[in-house]
Chains A and B, each alone.
Chain A
Amino acid sequence: MTGAPHGARRTPLLRDRTVGGGALIGVAAAAAVDEIVFHQLLAWHHFYDVGTPRAALLSDGLLHAFELLAGVAGVFLLLDARRTGGVDRLRAWGAVCAGAGLFQVWDGLVHHKLLRLHQVRRVEDLLPYDLAWNGAGLAVLALGLVLLARSSRAARAG
């Protein structure tokens, strides 16, 4: 988008539709990568793991539902941002990365570790896999935050 993104200048971060829409799309993108790469291509993850408690199944179902609907809602929020003053690309990409990274870390810590829903891979020594999984998430999250901060600075400088 060309033109001054004046919507982004005044709105607080959490009410900004570019940020909200981007972050939701980031969540959906990270979930799609998980589904395509780890479930389908590598088959490290499975539709169901034996011994998973029912409560964890419900939490997994809700998480999956959130991933699906987040992608749809995110697209419409960005469309709305576009028709009311334009989308700041830097800000949108920052939000996408932040959302994707946050989701990856959430999945890695809460789902894999806390709820023990499934692990990155069914192997003896999980540590390298966990480090890579959560490290990648943290790196993408950090990149997103840097991009967001930069877009805020650029908007302030006008």
Chain B
Amino acid sequence: MGHAHAAASLLPVLALPVLAALAGYAGAAAGERGRGRRWPWARTLSWTAGVLLVAAAVVLVPDGFAGHMAAHLLVGMVAPLLLVLAAPVTLALRTLDVVRARQLSRLLRSRPAQVLGHPVTAALLSVGSLVLLYRTPLLGRMLTDPAVHALVLVHVLASGCLLTAALVGPDPAPHRPGPRVRLLVLLLATGVHGALATDLYAVPPAGVPAAEAREAALLMAYGGDVVHVALAVVLCGQWYRAVGRRRARAAGPARAGRALPA
């Protein structure tokens, strides 16, 4: 049985969460505008693109290892960037009623959430689990069993969102380490991701033809590079704006006699 056929049978299962995600976000954003508060269209666009990308990657991706790799790149790296930059938590905090919003914000500030959302944890869960996936018999199970593949995709999406949010999330994150630590984590994650891609090129996983493994490895290496550079641009851009704001604040009230901090 072709894998694409199995994926197509997922369509009805997938339709409900996809529609809920799209409608929920669009409704909340429209509500914000209705109350006269700004919610950038770019964020709604980013969210919609992210959700549709996940759906497309799950349903349309072809058979084989390279196809899976393409799906993983889209679901685990590109879509999370689009989803996280849409600031869904901020939107939820603004639109939920007070009690619910407080519960959500308490949950986000809780100790487990802090540990889970730390860039190092998030990187281990996301890039670390790739090592497990590609270097253990889990890969064989995933390639043959659509249910296992669905679970893996959910994990790839969730851990990708976690890492992206930990690195560049626009949602409030009071305990997040500074940009230097986050850039260092991005560096290590990028390095391990690239090394794993080269390793897959060198030693194909059990049961995968060498040519297909190489195609997948190159896709992982270069596709990964593109998204990692995009993450670095967003991260450095946030640092650049934050430094500018900090300087303006420092220079604002006491401009006289105060030098710009280096």
A84–B218 Cα gap in the complex (Å)? Answer: 41
Q: Given A64-B194, A65-B194, A83-B244: A57 and B202 within 8 A (CB)?
A: yes
Is B228 within 8 A of A68, CB to CB?
yes
Is B232 touching A62 in the complex (CB atoms < 8 A)?
no
In the complex, chain B residues whose CB is within 8 Å of the CB of A47: 198, 201, 218, 221
Q: B262 contacts A7, CB within 8 Å?
A: yes
B199 at the A interface (CB under 8 A): yes
* Assembled-state Cα–Cα distance A17/B225 (Å): 25
Residues of chain B with a CB closer than 8 A to A50's CB:
202
Is A32 an interface position by the 8 A CB rule? no
> B239 on the interface (CB 8 Å rule)?
yes
Contacting residues, chain B, for A66 (C-beta < 8 A): 187, 191
Contact at B192–A61, with CB atoms within 8 Å?
yes
Label chain A's interface by main secondary structure.
Answer: helix
- With CB as the reference atom, state the residue of chain A lying closest to B233: A72
List of B residues within 8 angstroms of A64 by Cβ: 190-191, 194, 225
Contact across chains for B232 and A68 when beta carbons are under 8 A apart: yes
**Known: A52-B202, A57-B198, A61-B193. Is A76-B237 also a contact (CB below 8 A)?**
yes
- Point out the residues of chain B lying under 8 angstroms from A65, CB to CB: 187-188, 190-191, 193-194, 228
Contact with B along A66-107 (1 / 0, CB 8 A): 101100110110011001110000000000000000000000
Is A2 located at the chain interface by the 8 A CB criterion? Answer: no
Question: Looking at chain B's contact residues, is the secondary structure mostly helix, strand, loop, or mixed?
Answer: helix
- In the docked arrangement, what's the CA distance between A104 and B196, Å? 25
CA distance A75 to B237 in the complex (A): 10
B191-222 contacts to A (CB < 8 Å): 191-199, 201-202, 218, 221
Q: Which size bracket describes the interface of B in this complex? A: 20 to 34
CB distance from B128 to the nearest CB of A (A): 14
Interface size class of A (residues with CB under 8 A): 20 to 34
Contact call A48/B201, Cβ cutoff below 8 A: yes
Residue B101 lies at the interface, judged by CB distance under 8 Å to chain A? no
B228 / chain A contacts, CB cutoff of 8 Å: 65, 68-69
Q: Is the CB of B195 within 8 A of A61?
A: yes
Cβ distance B135 to chain A, nearest Cβ, rounded Å: 11
A62's contact among B195, B229, B239, by CB below 8 Å, is which?
B195
Q: B195 to A15, Cβ gap below 8 A?
A: no
Closest A residue, CB atoms, query B201:
A48
Which residues of the partner chain A approach B254 to less than 8 Å between Cβ atoms?
none
- Give complex CA distance A50, B201 in Å: 10
- Are A48 and B232 neighbours in the complex by a CB distance under 8 Å? no
Q: Which residues of A contact B233 (CB under 8 A)?
A: 72
Distance between Cα atoms of A17 and B261 in the complex (Å): 12
8 A Cβ contacts from A38-59 to B: 47-48, 50, 52, 54, 57-58
Q: A5-31 interface mask toward B, CB cutoff 8 Å, 1 = contact, 0 = none?
A: 001000100010100000000000000
The smallest beta-carbon distance between B45 and chain A, in angstroms, is 24
Docked-complex contact A76 and B201, CB < 8 angstroms: no
Q: Is the CB of A68 within 8 A of B198?
A: no
Q: B residues bordering A, Cβ < 8 Å?
A: 183, 186-188, 190-199, 201-202, 218, 221, 225, 228-229, 232-233, 236-237, 239-240, 243-244, 247, 260, 262
Q: What is A's interface to B at a CB cutoff of 8 Å? A: 7, 11, 15, 17, 47-48, 50, 52, 54, 57-58, 60-66, 68-69, 72-73, 75-76, 79-80, 83-85
Q: Could you list 28 A-B pairs, sorted by A, with CB under 8 Å?
A: A11-B262, A47-B198, A47-B218, A48-B202, A50-B202, A57-B202, A58-B191, A61-B191, A61-B192, A61-B197, A61-B198, A62-B187, A62-B191, A63-B191, A64-B194, A64-B225, A65-B190, A65-B228, A68-B232, A69-B186, A69-B190, A69-B229, A69-B232, A72-B229, A75-B236, A76-B236, A76-B237, A80-B243
Beyond known contacts A62-B188, A68-B228: 12 more, CB 8 A cutoff: A11-B262, A15-B262, A48-B201, A57-B195, A61-B193, A61-B196, A64-B191, A65-B191, A66-B187, A68-B232, A75-B236, A80-B240
